[in-house]
Amino acid sequence: MTPEKLVQTTGLFYQSLIHPAPDDPEFRAGLDRFCQLRDNLDRGLALQLIQEVNWRDRLLGFAVAALLQDWSLSSAILETLQRPTGMAIVPAGAWLIIQRRRASKASPELDLSGFDLTQFDGEVGWVLSRLQEEREGGFSVSPEETGPNYGQSLQDQLGLYEFLCAFA
């Protein structure tokens, strides 16, 4: 499947990835439809979407990577935080936290010197500090915790990627 075909097939699904609503039946229905595409998705598609500079493609790429449980994409996802695009920052951090929990040996090194931690009202630094806390074993998240720029719920993002990884 090509990125264009995925967007055509999923329509505006990418918008629901900004603020996933696990209790919303409409969101769950869209998520289920997306998961049904699993056999048509591959690593190449995920990587192509992740490496795009727009947040829409990145969100779809993160979702494809989680659905495939392709942990080899973790370095590419971490690199998106070096050239962040708005609404993909918190989802990238959530994906990396889930990846760390499920396959810690595949986690890329985290050298904060390569990142501008002040970008997007400090959201890059905020999400990387949460990732660092996960690596050090001191991470916890409250339902009210949101990113400083777009107000994305870290807990909802983590739940989204957990769900996608658990889909069989």
pLDDT per position as a tens digit, 107-160:
888 888 889 999 999 999 999 999 999 999 888 888 888 999 999 999 999 999
pLDDT band of 39, cuts 50, 70, 90: very high
pTM for the model: 0.95
CB atoms within 10 A of CB 109: 6
- Residue 146, helix vs strand vs coil: strand
Q: Examine the pLDDT at 168 and tell me if it is beyond 80.
A: no
Q: Quote the pLDDT of residue 17.
A: 97
| Distance of alpha carbon 49 from alpha carbon 59, whole angstroms | 8
Q: What percent of the chain has pLDDT over 70?
A: 99
8 Å CB contact between 44 and 71: no
Domain span at 122: 3-167
* DSSP, residue by residue, 62-129: HHHHHHHT-GGGHHHHHHHTTS--GGGHHHHHHHHHHHHHH-GGGPPP--GGGS-TTHHHHHHHHHHH
Q: Examine the pLDDT at 69 and tell me if it is beyond 90.
A: yes
Give φ, ψ of 70 to 5 degrees. Answer: -95, 90
Q: Examine the pLDDT at 18 and tell me if it is beyond 70.
A: yes
Between the CA atoms of 33, 95, 17 and 160, what dihedral angle is there, to the nearest 10 degrees?
60
| Distance of alpha carbon 23 from alpha carbon 30, whole angstroms | 12
**Residue 8 CB contacts under 8 Å (≥ 6 apart), including other chains:** none
Q: Quote the pLDDT of residue 58.
A: 97
| Section 40-47 average pLDDT | 98
Q: Examine the pLDDT at 45 and tell me if it is beyond 80.
A: yes
pLDDT single digits (tens) 75-88: 999 999 999 998 99
Total domains, the chain = 1
